[in-house]
Amino acid sequence: MSMALDILSWFCMLAGGVFCAIGAFGLVRMPDFYTRMHAASITDTVGAWLLLLGMILQAGLTLIAVKLLMIALLLLFTSPTATHALAKAARARGLQPLLAPGEDPSKP
Amino acid sequence: MHLASLGIVLYAFWLLLSGYFEPFLLAAGAGSALAVVLLSRRMHIVDREGHPIQMIASVLLYWPWLIKEIFKCAWDVSRIILSPSLPISPVLVRFKPTQKSQVGLTTHANSITLTPGTITVEATQDEFLVHGLTRTAGAGVIDSEMDQRVSKVEGYR
């Protein structure tokens, strides 16, 4: 049983690490500010949650697991708020997003 | 009603974070929870919006669906990042959300931002401005299933 839990927990942590790395890679590859934020949002949703889930499985039914769950819940509320604040601030300062060909930036 | 539930939630939060169950710390926790409840009442933030207990049951049903959506979109965006041609087509879309309350609009806007591939840039009562990483992601937020689900969670209909 604990063997299966260990394997599951390692799988979650490994997958979380891979998603964090993909997010970081996307941050470098994307062409402009707004598209980079999309890559970063992989890191702070799926990447962080899978890492936390792996740690919760390691902790078992303890208070530590509850605290890790609280951190996950905190991320669920704070990370979109921070991302939105960043995007809104950039737009308020007049930073125009790079759009696909054929899209009119003045229209929307 | 809201005050009592806020007090219970705060006290449970204290107990879970401290992990000590000695009489002095139990009493200190009760005192702190009570103080925060009284301060919140003085600030007039304990109401349907500041402490939305009417949403608890429905939001617990909504979160698993949202997390499933987030994983699906994260997978799509990961494939875009890793593909050599970087097939993005960034768009800005405007649409009118169907939520009535501020807390419902916030939930909807935050859900859009949480989903990789879409970010809410501006959120007002009448209009959301969303930046999508691809045309399909951008078009997907207009009158979406998420919109309907959040309106249901909100509980006005």
ipTM: 0.86
| B122 within domain boundaries | yes
Q: Out of A37, A42, A63, name the one closest to residue B74 (CB).
A: A42
Q: Which domain holds residue B35?
A: 2-42
Q: What is the pLDDT of residue B156?
A: 61
Residues B72 and B144 both lie in one domain: yes
Q: Is there a contact between B127 and B39 (Cβ–Cβ < 8 Å)? A: no
- Do B30 and B58 lie in a common domain? no
User: B149 pLDDT exceeds 70?
Assistant: yes
- Do residue B145 and residue B105 come from a single domain? yes
- Are both B127 and B75 inside the same structural domain? yes
Q: What is the pLDDT of residues B61-75, one digit of tens each?
A: 999 999 999 999 999
Amino acid letter for position A96:
Q
Q: How many domains does chain B have?
A: 2
Same domain, B30 and B93: no
pLDDT, tens only, B129-143: 999 999 988 888 888
Whether pLDDT at A1 is above 90: no
Q: Distance between CA A26 and CA A22 in Å, rounded?
A: 6
- Residue with the bigger pLDDT between B12 and A106: it is B12
B59 shares its domain with B37: no
| pLDDT above 50: residue B157 | no
* pLDDT one-digit tens code per residue, B20-64: 889 999 999 999 999 999 999 999 888 877 788 888 888 889 999
Same domain, B127 and B106: yes
Residue B146 forms beta bridges with which residues?
A: none
| B75 shares its domain with B21 | no
For residues B37 and B60, state if they share a domain. Answer: no
H-type alpha helices, B1-55 = 2-18, 23-42
State yes or no: pLDDT of B18 exceeds 50: yes
Taking residues A53-65, what's their average pLDDT? 92
B103, pLDDT greater than 60: yes
> A35–B133: do the CB atoms touch at under 8 Å?
yes
- List pLDDT tens digits, range B81-102: 999 998 989 999 999 999 888 8
Taking 50 as the threshold, does the pLDDT of residue A66 lie above it? yes
**A80-104 tens-digit pLDDT:** 999 999 999 999 998 888 887 776 6
Same domain? B116 vs B88: yes
* CA distances to A12, A43, A52 from A75, in Å: 18, 11, 11
Contacts of B6 (CB under 8 A, 6+ apart): B36, B37, B40, B46, B51
Q: Is A3 exposed, middle or buried (0-12, 13-18, 19+ CB in 10 A)?
A: exposed
CA separation for the pair A82, B128 (Å, rounded): 17
Inside any domain, residue B47: no
pLDDT tens readout for residues A2-52: 889 999 999 999 999 999 999 999 999 999 999 999 999 999 899 999 999
Q: Is residue B49 part of a domain?
A: no
Domain ranges of chain A: 2-80
Sequence-distant (6+) residues with CB within 8 A of B84 are none
Please check the confidence at residue A105 and state whether its pLDDT lies above 80: no
C-alpha distance from residue A2 to each of A7, A52, A61, A65 (Å): 9, 18, 13, 16
Inspect the interface and report whether the beta carbons of A38 and B89 lie closer than 8 Å: no
- Partner-chain residue, chosen from B67, B91, B117, that has the shortest CB–CB distance to A38: B117
- Give the sheet arrangement for strand B91-95, strand by strand: B91-95, B128-132, B118-123
Residues B25 and B86 in one domain: no
Residue B93 lies in a domain: yes
**B119 shares a domain with B69:** yes
Residue B97 inside a domain? The answer is yes
* The pair of three-digit structure tokens given for residue A53, joined into one six-digit string: 């889930």
Test B70 with A45 for CB contact under 8 angstroms: yes
Q: Kindly determine whether residue B77 and residue A39, on different chains, have CB atoms separated by under 8 Å.
A: yes
